[in-house]
Chain A
Amino acid sequence: MFTRVHRGEARGKILFYVFLTVVGLVFVYPFIFMVATSLKDSPEVFQNILSLFGARLRTENYATVLGTVNMGRYMVNTAIVSLGVVAGQITTSLLGGYAFARIRFPGRELLFNLYLGTVMIPFTVIMIPMYKLMITFGWVDKLQSLIIPWIFTASGTFLMRQFMKSIPKELEEAAYLDGANRLTILWKVFVPLAGPAIAAQFTISFLYAWNSFIWPLVAINSKANYVVTQGLADIQGGYHASPPVVLAGATLVIIPTVLVFLAAQRYFVEGIATTGIKG
């Protein structure tokens, strides 16, 4: 049936898929290992670390992480912080993006370039004075130290500006002639169209906030206000922690971000393609 060429092609195709499947497995194996280990007990882990299942699925590790370790509290804290950052960033980016895209005012291009230039400044450089600022404001060990400094974003403003520039002017002119003010136009004309841009910014900044570590480590010191990454570092630091408990914690932290990514994959990839900013 097959000519020689076809047979070669089919073999090539199979090799192609085999290679990609092996590579894909290497990339997700650590997560498979993580979930598998989180459902065993310590003796089962050390008996055979490669096996996927122990005698039964032990969900008690999750009870330990949520109860004794208080990861539930850390997840609530992190959710508050992440949603606060996301809501704030989208608001300031919509306002700023609109100003840069549509309103004429002196110094606009200069301000825009200056603002965009701040993307180059590594957070490391301002971390120490930022901590001093938190002391001055009385925000040390409070969740607002993880939210308010982070709701201003040059890259998000850039993303919204690019998006709004791509929308034809006629759409807003009609509303303008009806006597609508700019806020109304932004809200009624642009926001409904900005769905994909908002979704892209939502996923990127949510993941960034959820995963952030060094700044919470500096700014938050009482356990009641910990975020999840601090909670994980804390279980790891406690020498009594067994691998199943630690990895149950890691699973609780990682799975939500993977779900957000899978749900919003399309927007996510678009956002990266536009700005080059990762989560």
Chain B
Amino acid sequence: MKYVDEYRDGKMARHIAEKIRQSVKGDKSYHFMEFCGGHTHAIFRYGIPDLLPENVKMIHGPGCPVCILPIPRIDAAIELAEKHQVILCSYGDMMRVPGSRRRSLLKAKADGADIRMVYSCADALAIARGNPDKQVVFFAIGFETTTPPTALIIQQAQKQQVKNFSVFCNHVLTPSAISTILESPEVRDMGLVPLDGFIGPAHVSTVIGSQPYEYFAEEYQKPVVIAGFEPLDVLQAILMLVEQVNRGKAEVENEFTRAVTEQGNLKAKNLVADIFEMRAEFEWRGLGLVPYSGLRIKPEYGDYDAEKRFVLTASKGTDHKACECPKILRGVKTPKDCKLFGSKCTPENPIGSCMVSSEGACAAYYSYGRHQQKHKS
């Protein structure tokens, strides 16, 4: 496939890896966080850790929208389907994420709730048009990539006067999550998470552009390299980060110029600004309440806001006691540090959210890493 195969060339990957080996200084260690789950997935799928020198370590960030959605929001989605008897439409990734008492959308569906997996939010609106006597709610999750489609669908619902459609909005913002990590005591005071730079998200950046990262580079003196999701992109970004660290620089560089511009997709950004506004705070699994990190539907479009249309109980559900997802999402622990990993918690029967989505660190470790580690030892 064009724009895919040429960025997966094995020989070229070894060349870039060799270049990284030549560039790193033996007495230095390099810790880079890939913010986005898409990169985590790519790093394990293509065995990138095996190509890197010992002193270059990748820390997995919280950029997986399925992983960071806290239990109370999952409970609320289940409540919409069960108590309010709506047709709940959800992206497939959310279906198996455990809420309180390990109930998931999939279990609620098995118990008779009308929960439907959709590929696109447009499918949810079509279901609403096809079922005018039922309330239909779209369970909207995701970072800046899925937000513009949700904005479009709300606009379309209004234009087409689809009265039985609403959106349960859980859209979150990448820059505020990066700030929270940089401000966390683990990074700032305790030095538990050494962080020398970030690999910036690929597709999120196609929408928001490279400009929002300038602040991190300057304020926190951390280099950021925006990278595509293919293995050569990731390796090249690591090389660029190593070179910045060696030169004592903290700049925003863009490896993914084929799809990311400085300002991003203005049409998409304007649409999002028309439909959504910031929440004062939003709860993230692992990060807690993060100020100005989530979006809600503006009052002008309040008719399409499921949180206004239905009265939802405030759930106090908390994570499984032994589950290390919160710490893994902050980069403090790795999946291997979790007692449940691979034994009680597997992709088939997940306890924590990081084991559910293919972009979650635990699922990526389990699917690609564990086998490799056995082979090595």
A binds B: no
Binding site for A on B (CB under 8 A): none
